[in-house]
Structure 1
C-alpha cells in the first residue's frame, strides 16, 4: 500500500490544483459550442486518464504478483483484477463518446449531458466510499480466518487503495465540472430564448 502513496499524493495535488483554478477563475463569455466541446474534451480526458492509470497499475502489479508471496502477492493480484475492470469502463466510455457530436447539440442537450456527468460522478463517489469501507472490512477479517489471512489482507488493502483513488478522482472531477461548467450553463440559459424551456436544477 505504501508504494502507491506517492502516486496518490502527486495525483491528488495535480487534480486539486486544477480544481482550485476552476473555482477561482471568473468564467469568460462562452457560447453553446464551447460549452459542449469543453464537456466533451473533459469527458475524453477522464476516460484516457482512467485507462492510463489502469494500464500502469496492471503493468506494475502484473510483474510484482509473480515476484512476491503472501499478502503482497494477493495485493497485486487484486490490483490486476480491479484495473482490468477500470480499463473496460474507460474503454466503454471512450467508445460512447464517438456517438456524440458537440457541433450538432442543442443547448438543452448540452445542459442535460453536463448535469448527467455530474450526477454520475457523485453516484460513483458514493460507490467508492463503499469500496473503501468494504476493503477495510475484508482486511479486518484476517484475524478471524488465519488460514486465509494473507489473501484477506492483500485483497482488502488493494480494494481500499483503489477505492480511495477513485473517490479522489471522481470528487475532484465533479468539482471541476461544477465550478467551471455551472456558471457557463447559467450564462447560456440566461441568454437563451424564453421558449427554450431549459429547467434543470444545478446541484
Structure 2
C-alpha cells in the first residue's frame, strides 16, 4: 500500500509543482507548449509529405512527378526547421527565465511568425505565378505546373499553421504584460 502511495505521489508531483509555479513560469510553459505543438504539427506534416511523395514518385509521371519532387524537397526543409525549433523549445528552462527575457522571447517569436505569414503569402503568389507561367512555357511546362501546385499547397498549409500560432501567442499576451510593474 505504501509503495502504491509513493508511486501515486511521484506521478502527481509534476502537476503539483506546475500548479505552484509563478505566473511568469506558467506563461513561459504555456507559450512553449503552444510552440511545441506547432512544431510537432509541422514535423508531422513534413513526414507525411515525405512518405507520400517518396511513394508517389515511383508511380507518377509528368506534372505530378514534379509536384511530388517539390513536396519532397520542401518538406525535408520543413522537417529540419521543426526539429531545430523543437530542440530549442525543449532544451530551454522556462521556469528560470526572467521577465525581461520572457518578454523579449515572446516578441521575437511573434515577429518571426508575422514574417512567416508574409512569406507564406509570397509562396502562394509564387506558386500561382509558376502555374500560370506553365501555360506559356516552351520548355518543360509540366515542371512549372507541378512546382507551382506544390508551392501553393505548402504555402497554404504554412499560412494556416502560422496564423493559428500567431492567434494563440496573441491570446496569451495579456498574461505576460500584466506581470509588468506599474510605472
* Shorter-chain TM-score above 0.5: yes
Deviation digits for residues 113-141 of structure 1 (CA, Å, limit 9, x no counterpart): 11111111000010111111111111111
8 Å contact kept, 2:39–2:86: yes
Partner of 1:86: 78
Bigger CA radius of gyration: 2
Partner of 1:37: 29
Partner of 2:135: 143
Which one of the candidate residues 62, 73, 87 is aligned to 1:70? Answer: 62
Which one of the candidate residues 39, 45, 50 is aligned to 1:47? Answer: 39
How far is 1:147 from its partner? 3.3
The answer to whether 1:132 aligns with 2:124 is yes
Residue 134 of structure 2 aligns to a residue whose secondary structure is: coil
8 Å contact kept, 2:49–2:75: yes
Which one of the candidate residues 157, 165, 172 is aligned to 1:173? Answer: 165
- In 1, Cα distance between equivalents of 2:89 and 2:102: 14
Which one of the candidate residues 51, 59, 75 is aligned to 2:51? Answer: 59
Tell me, which stretches of 5 or more residues in structure 1 are unaligned?
A: 1-29, 195-203
Partner of 2:178: 187
- In 2, Cα distance between equivalents of 1:65 and 1:157: 16
How far is 1:46 from its partner? 1.7
- In 2, Cα distance between equivalents of 1:120 and 1:129: 14
8 Å contact kept, 2:34–2:168: no
Deviation digits for residues 163-188 of structure 1 (CA, Å, limit 9, x no counterpart): 11101110111011101x11112321
- In 2, Cα distance between equivalents of 1:170 and 1:157: 20
8 Å contact kept, 2:130–2:147: yes
How far is 1:97 from its partner? 2.3
How far is 1:143 from its partner? 2.2
Partner of 1:199: none
Q: TM-score, normalised by structure 2?
A: 0.83
- What is the RMSD computed on CA atoms of the aligned residues? 1.5
- In 1, Cα distance between equivalents of 2:32 and 2:164: 17
